[in-house]
Amino acid sequence: MIGFHIKKSFFDGMDNFPVLILCNLAYVLLAILTVLTVLGLQEINSLGTLGLILAVLFLVDLLSLGVAGLSYGWVRYKKPGFDIFKRSIKGHFTHCLIKTLADFVSFTAVAVGIPYYLTSGGTFGFFCALICFWIGVLGYLSMQFYYPLSIAMFKDSAVKTFKKSLVIMWDNLGYAAYMGLRTFLEFIITVFTAGFVPGFAGINISRANMVMFLLLRYDYMDENKIDKRYLEWDAVLEDVKKNFGHVGKAARGKEED
């Protein structure tokens, strides 16, 4: 499954290279704008810093929501126009707010909570720091599924998508861990390539493929009445290869007319 996923994500990116680069450029410009804003601030208090972080996360999540709509089409061998970018943002603005809040909680738990409680010392401080660590980890792992699921199941509410992300993450911890590790490695490569390869748009493609494969797996289990403990990934991938370009009903979801 890993090899197939890597090859498919690579070719999906190459097939849509010009638009992919354009999306990555938008992320780079947003990063530059953020850095210039921070450098331009002479004095900022702790509350102002948290507000700035929240604003940056919102802008990144808003852009990622539109790119997730494009990625949904790319991984299904389609050529979606810019309309899906706008429609994803318009139809899922509440999803973006929920995602931003979840990302903010995870970030502050790790970046602020852990150092604070560790410096406070004692068993209680260590215990609180440990809780903050796991809030960050679980938030990171579960939110990987959030946008791909929100686009695949277009009519679900933000709260319903949030719950599904948690359930799917918990039901597929190994899969989520691999997905998280892959995202981390792709982020490192992105930093060293100034944000262009694979870039955040490429990371969106990778996540969209991972979620598509997972939903196809649920389709396969449902259609063949197989318990997931006895299902091999090869069986699902073989089914995908036989119907190249075909996606199951769970992966398709029900898009807005």
For residue 198, say if its preceding peptide bond is cis, omega within 30 degrees of 0.
yes
169 part of a folded domain: yes
pLDDT at res. 33: 87
DSSP 52: H
In total, how many domains does the chain have? 1
Q: Give whole-number Cα distances, 158 to 70, 149, 155, in Å.
A: 19, 10, 9
217 part of a folded domain: yes
pTM above 0.75, yes or no: yes
Distance between CA atoms of residues 148 and 210, nearest Å? 9
Confidence of residue 100 (pLDDT cuts 50, 70, 90): very high
257 part of a folded domain: no
The tens digit of pLDDT for each residue in 169-219 reads 999 999 999 999 999 999 999 999 988 889 999 999 999 999 988 888 888
DSSP 109: I
End-to-end CA distance of the chain: 33
- Percentage of residues of the chain with pLDDT beyond 70: 87
Distance between CA atoms of residues 106 and 95, nearest Å? 16
Which domain covers residue 244, as residue numbers? 2-252
214 part of a folded domain: yes
Distance between CA atoms of residues 53 and 101, nearest Å? 11
DSSP 19: H
